[in-house]
Structure 1
Amino acid sequence: MRGDEADLPIVSIVMPCYNEEEALPETVRQMTALLERLVREKKVSEQSKMLLVDDGSRDKTWSLIDSFHRSNRFVSGLKLSRNVGHQRALLAGLLTAKEYADCIISIDADLQDDITVIDQFIEKYKQGYEVVYGVRNKRTTDTMFKKFSAQFFYKLMIKLGVNVVYNHADYRMMSKKVVNKLEEYQEVNLFLRGIIPTIGFKSDSVYYDRLERTAGESKYPLKKMLIFAWEGITSFSVSPIRAVSVVGFFMSVMSLLFAFYVFVRHLQGNTVSGWSSLILSIWFIGGIQLLCIGLIGEYIGKIYIETKKRPKYFVETELHNVVVTEAKTQQLQETR
């Protein structure tokens, strides 16, 4: 068992924020109430925090974070130099939080993921679990299209051999040890839902119902959802590129069969030249070729991006008021 009363865990709740001006006040209010209760009930250290990561927002998100930081002892802030995307912003928060926290919980700032199960996260951490996944039990608040597309995405990923947790997004708890291992992954094309299960260590899941968004609108429209899904598939599975070989083989067989058919018709004296069938065949084969070339190009493009090894993000401003005791500092250094 970890974290007895004499050594309560320092918990950091990391929340990437992009144009969350409308939702942020309610989010901070609910998270503050949660942390105050956890501290009062002696489940976490009083030095536990929420870390709000501003991913290059264009509204007043950062000014709100700065204001909350000045008036709320639980609020820390991280401002990135520009918008780098949800996954990189989340990674920035995780790597920052691990410097002072024993365990890190990641959650979206819209609070559609039920924060009441954070108690279960912490309890499982004390029981020795290094990773705890928040799994959506019901998606009654999602539209029919979003529910279908999300479930299809998870099933497709699993079918392609990607090790993802079904109906799990980025709501999870990780110990400092796991985040240290996550930092060793140097890939630029980030898909944390696929990376974290590959790290290993003792893990478990907690289940919750998806809630309504507190305010504002979703930052993941259909276009971004499709890009994110494609990023995940091409980052963790070579099945699509293998399918190119299958399509090529299939088309070769079809061509041989069609050539045999034409030869037989020619022997029977029934061949009739046709412009339409010729053009359709050319277009069909040409379309398949372009599709295959594009798919191969997608993987080559990823290789190109990875080889440049550009930094994933830059931190512009960091707001912290964490004061760690000497004993806790020594303990954190020993676990690194």
Structure 2
Amino acid sequence: MAAVVYLVVPCYNEEEVLPEASKRLIAKLEGLMEKELASKESRILFVDDGSKDKTWELIAGLHESTPYVCGLKLSRNRGHQYALLAGLTAARELCDCAISLDADLQDDIEVFDEFLKHYQDGCDIVYGVRKSRETDTRFKRGSAQLFYKFLNLMGVEVLYNHADYRLMSRRALEALSEYKEVNLFLRGIVPLIGYKSAVVYYERHERLAGKSKYPLSKMLSLAADGILSFSIKPIRIISSLGFLIAFCSIIALLYALISKLCGAAVSGWTAIVVSIWLLGGIQLLCLGVIGEYIGRIYSEVKQRPKYFIEQFLKK
């Protein structure tokens, strides 16, 4: 029996992309139905993350004119991770499995077939992983490699070259709903579920239109969420650094005392100034890292709602 498949597509100011993206997704979904990989109840769920352009109007129009498009409108912009979670949560009770992807269709939708074949073979999670980054600029390629290597170094379990292009079964979606944290990093949460998984490799395309909604600042923020939400290694590094500095201070104190007793004390204004600036910088850096953890604890303990749904258009 064919599965009920929901394609969950977060959107933020995507009016340039939506007409062509919806056309291609509808055609692909109909193709999956013909191959009996998806049932007739399958849908495309566009999630409007508080867009300021005509994104929601386009989604509402598609909902009226086509039988396969649903729409979910958040009350305000909450960011890609929250929009994706809102879509997956809404789809959980309506589907057998959900495939998440971005509206720009840089992720190759032709591998949906492989996703669903792995699902039929019993996989609860299927990850879409890029084969290469040859189409990226040198800076973006280098920063992405640094991003994944640094996350792994900090103890965060992520798949290299995997973003948020994946299939999740209803069972996996129900497990995902058990994670209540406010500081979302889905790339780190999903591997923790631990159900049977598979990997599908694909080539990434250019955007259909418009500009990327993930500039360097948002990528750095996402990296910080990933590290600080899943690892305490930075705290341990600070502790180790504290012990190292304390040890060096004891050595320096002994050296100063011996020099004084031997009558070889020399004025060292430069060394004193450099050491003060160095230790002051290290202390401020350590306080900043600790402050980031405290800030995230503060966000978690308030337990505020992650988002509010203003409107849900479903078939």
Residue of structure 1 in register with 2:181 after alignment: 187
Q: Give the C-alpha shift of residue 268 in structure 1.
A: 4.2
CA distance in 1, matches of 2:35, 2:291: 55
State which of 157, 160, 163 in structure 1 corresponds to 2:157.
163
Q: Are residue 215 (structure 1) and residue 220 (structure 2) matched? A: no
Contact kept, 8 Å, 1:140 with 1:210, in 2: the verdict is no
> Are 2:61 and 1:53 aligned?
no
CA apart distance, 1:265: 3.2
Indicate whether 1:87 and 2:103 are aligned: no
In structure 2, the partner of 1:309 is 303
**In 1, distance between residues paired with 2:116 and 2:2?**
10
SS of 1:109's equivalent? coil
Tell me the equivalent position of 1:331: none
Residue aligning to 1:141: 135
Write out per-residue CA displacement over residues 96-141 of structure 1, whole angstroms, 9 at most, x where no aligned residue: 0112111000001111111111110011111111100001111122
The equivalent residue for 1:261 is 255
The partner residue of 1:77 within 71, 74, 86 is: 71
Distance 1:171 1:95 in 2: 16
After the TM superposition, list the runs of 4 or more consecutive aligned residues in structure 1 that deviate by more than 6 angstroms: none
Mapped pair 1:286 → 2:292: no
SS in 2 for 1:117: helix
Counterparts of 1:259 and 1:214, CA distance in 2: 64
1:106 aligned to 2:100?
Answer: yes
| Counterpart-to-counterpart distance in 2, 1:259 and 1:24 | 67
SS of 1:170's equivalent in the other structure is coil
Q: Deviations over 1:285-320 (max 9, x none)?
A: 111111111111111111111111111000001111
> What RMSD over aligned residues (CA atoms) do the two structures have, in Å?
1.2
Q: Which amino acid aligns with 1:244?
A: I
Instruction: State the SS of the aligned residue for 1:105.
Output: strand
SS at match of 2:163: strand
Partner of 2:22: 28
**SS of the residue aligned with 2:252?**
helix
Distance in 1, Cα, partners of 2:84 & 2:28: 21
Tell me how far 1:44 sits from its aligned partner: 0.9
The alpha-carbon deviation at position 167 of structure 1 amounts to 1.2
Q: Secondary structure at the match of 2:259?
A: helix
Paired AA for residue 125 in structure 2: V
**Structure 2 residue ranges without an equivalent (≥5):** none
Return the TM-score normalized by structure 1.
0.91
Which range moved further: 151-160 or 260-269?
260-269
| Cα offset, 1:238, TM superposition | 0.4
Find the aligned partners of 2:280 and 2:145 in 1 and give their Cα distance. Answer: 33
Q: 1:273: which partner in 2?
A: 267
In 1, Cα distance between equivalents of 2:277 and 2:149: 32
Distance in structure 1 (CA, Å) of the matches to 2:265 and 2:12 = 64
- After alignment, is 292-301 or 229-238 more displaced? 292-301
CA distance in 2: counterparts of 1:270 and 1:19, whole angstroms: 70
Three-state SS of the structure 2 residue aligned to 1:186 is coil
Instruction: Find the aligned partners of 1:201 and 1:62 in 2 and give their Cα distance.
Output: 35
**Counterpart residue number, 1:65:** 59
- Distance in 2 between residues matched to 1:261 and 1:15, nearest whole Å: 64
Amino acid at match of 1:167: N
The residue number in structure 2 matching 1:334 is none
Alignment length, in residue pairs?
A: 315
Q: Answer yes or no: is 1:246 the counterpart of 2:216.
A: no
SS of equivalent residue, structure 1 residue 169? coil
